Amino acid sequence: MKSNTTRVVVGIAVVAVAVVLLIVLKDDGKSASEEVEGTSFDAPAKTDKASTGNEKGQGQPTIPTIVIKNGEPVGGIAELTYNEGDRIRFKVDSDVSEEIHVHGYDLMKDVEAGGSVSFDFPATIEGVFEAELEGRGEQIAELTVNP
């Protein structure tokens, strides 16, 4: 009887500790990922001039550029984070002729081999969306829109 009670108390303590740990770890995970977002993408120098959809861009941070080599994004899938109401802007330099599809927002734009294409649209839908090379089914970016 005694030992059972002890076991139960220990069990509940373990669970409580686990929950607290999860919450703490969760916070760590959040701040870590925010740091990653902060360092996200340094656009190559040519971006500012080459970009077409840049009229409203005065004083804006540089537009992230995703470089496609051999049909794959250089440096892996680009993680881009926005808040609802922001404008989602990014540019794709591609060495292959492809159609770029932003899911959820359902935007399609063609890009020539060796060419580039810019996206600029308002972040109206919250959630996680992928942008992919439609023909290859290759994901190139993950767009996160926070509320």
Partner 1 sequence: MTVFLPIAHALVARGDLPIPAWLFAWGASIVLIVSFFALSAAWREPRFEEDHWRPLGAGLSRALLALPTQILCGVTGVFLLGVSIYAGLKGTEAPDRNFALTFLFVTAWLGIPLFSVIFGDVFRPLNPWRAVGRAVGGAFTAVAGQRPAHLTYPEALGRWPAAVGLLAVVWLEVVYGASGGVAVGLSPHAAGVAALVYSFYTLAMMAVFGVEKWCQTGEVFSVYFGMFSELGSFSVKNGRLGRRRPLAAATHWATVPGSTAMVIASIATTSYDGAQEGVLNDAIVQVFEWLTDAGLGLTASLRLSSTIFMLICFVGVGLIYMIGVRGMATVGDAPSVKKLRMGFAHTLIPIAFAYLVAHYFSLFVFQEQAQFTYLLSDPLGTATTDLFGTASGGIDFKVLSANAIWYVQVGALVIGHVVGLTLAHDRATAYWGDYRQAARSQYWMLAVMVAFTCFGLYLLSESNG
Q: Pick from 26, 38, 39, 108: which binds partner 1 (CB under 8 A)?
A: 26
Q: How far apart are CA 35 and CA 42, in angstroms?
A: 15
Q: Residue 116 CB, nearest distance to partner 1 (Å)? A: 22
Binding span for partner 1 by CB under 8 A among 50-58, 59-67, 102-110, 113-121:
102-110
| Distances from the Cα of 129 to the Cα of 21, 81, 96, 125, 144, angstroms | 30, 10, 22, 10, 6
Residue-wise DSSP of 71-133: TEETTSSEEEEEETTSEEEEEEEESS-EEEEETTTTEEEEE-TT-EEEEEEE--S-EEEEEEE
β-strand 65-69 against 87-94: which pairing, if any? parallel
Using rule CB under 8 A, residue 58 touches partner 1: no
Count the residues of the shown chain that bind partner 1, applying the rule CB under 8 A: 37
Binding span for partner 1 by CB under 8 A among 8-16, 42-50, 51-59, 111-119:
8-16
Q: Which of 104, 95, 108 is nearest to 134 (CA)?
A: 108
Q: Pick from 23, 35, 49, 58: which binds partner 1 (CB under 8 A)?
A: 23
Using rule CB under 8 A, residue 62 touches partner 1: no
Q: Residue 53 CB, nearest distance to partner 1 (Å)? A: 23
Using rule CB under 8 A, residue 124 touches partner 1: yes
Using rule CB under 8 A, residue 103 touches partner 1: yes
Q: Residue 125 CB, nearest distance to partner 1 (Å)? A: 5
Nearer to partner 1, 54 or 144 (CB): 144
Report DSSP state, residue 67.
Answer: E
